[in-house]
Structure 1
C-alpha cells in the first residue's frame, strides 16, 4: 500500500525556556499536567510506578479541533535525567503511531528545549486523512505537521508560564 510519506514524517521546535533544566525536566515528565498546557492532550496519567525508565507506560487522551478524541498508551523509550525524555504512542495495534522526544540543554538559568515528533507506521488520524484524499497527501501531511509544531510551541510556552516563580 502506498502510504504517501506518512511514516517518518516529522517536525521539531527549539524553544529557550526561562526556567532551569531541573524545572523543565520536572515539567516534561509530569504527564498528569499535560492537560493544563497542551491544545490537544487533555489528560495524562502514569500506568506504572517506575515512571522514569524505558518501558514505563502512561495513558493520554487527546481532543482535536473537529471534536474527534483518541485514547492512547505511551511507552517511554528514553529517560535520561535532565537531558532526554521520549516515548512511543500506541493505539489498538502493536506498531507505534508516533514518537515524541525532548532534548534539554541547560543555558545558565534557562533551558534550550528541542522537541521532536515523528510519525510511526501505526494507523492514525493522519494516515486516515491521507487515505481519504490521496491526491492531497502532501498538503494533508504538511498541514498536520505545521499544526503539531504550533501546538508544541504553545505547550512549551504554557509549561514555562506555569513553572516560572511568582
Structure 2
C-alpha cells in the first residue's frame, strides 16, 4: 500500500500520469522539478511565479508547507494559482496541491526513479475535488481541465527532458 499524502481523498474525481526516461541522474532532474519559479521554461501554461513569504517574513524555497503562486496563461486568459508544497523527499518525490491544503483542489506530483545511469520522471495530476468554476460549468469544464492536464504533462515532461539532456 502506498503512503497517503496530506489532504488525501479516498475517491479523487480523476487522475492522469505519464512518464519519460531522461538521460541524467536523479539529482540533476530534481533541480528542475523543484524549481517552481522556472516552470515557465517548460510548461505550456505556467509562465513562472513567486514564493510567498512565510510567517517569519522569508520567502519559501520549496520545503513542505511553503506556498508558491504560479502565474498561468492559456489562450487569452491569465490567472494566478497558489500551491502548497506537501511532500519533498530529496531526489525522489515532490508534490504540491493547488489551493493549498485549505482548498485541496489538484495534486501535482513528480516521482523520480533511477533507471540505469538516468531517471524515469513521472508526473501525476489528480483532481481531488471540484473548484467553484468546475461546479458551475459541469462536465464541459471537467473535460477541458482533464484534456489540458494531459497536454500540459506531455509538454512539461518533454521540455524538462530536452532541457536537462541539452
2:13 to 5, 8, 16: 8
Shift of 1:123: 1.8
What per-residue deviation string (whole Å, max 9, x for no partner) do you get for residues 116-158 of structure 1?
111132525444431xxxxxx2x65344323312211111111
Normalised to the residue count of structure 2, the TM-score between the two structures is: 0.79
- In structure 1, distance between residues paired with 2:24 and 2:137: 38
TM score, norm. by length of structure 1? 0.79
In structure 1, distance between residues paired with 2:65 and 2:102? 14
Which consecutive unaligned segments of at least 5 residues does structure 2 have? 1-10, 54-58
Partner of 2:43: 38
Counterpart for residue 32 of structure 2: 27
- Deviation string for 1:68-111 (max 9, x for gaps)? 222121110000001000001118x9312211101110112221
Once the two structures are superposed, the pairs formed by residues 28-107 of structure 1 within 5 Å of their partners are: 28-48=33-53, 49-65=59-75, 67-90=76-99, 94-107=102-115
SS at structure 1 position matched to 2:96 = strand
Aligned length: 151
Mark the runs of 5 or more structure 1 residues left unpaired by the alignment. Answer: 1-5, 131-136
Deviates more, 1:70-79 or 1:155-164: 155-164
Contact 2:60 2:68 in 1 (8 A): no
CA distance in structure 2 between the aligned counterparts of 1:125 and 1:109, rounded to whole angstroms: 44
Q: Does 1:144 align with 2:153?
A: no
Cα distance in 2 for partners of 1:7, 1:99 equals 10
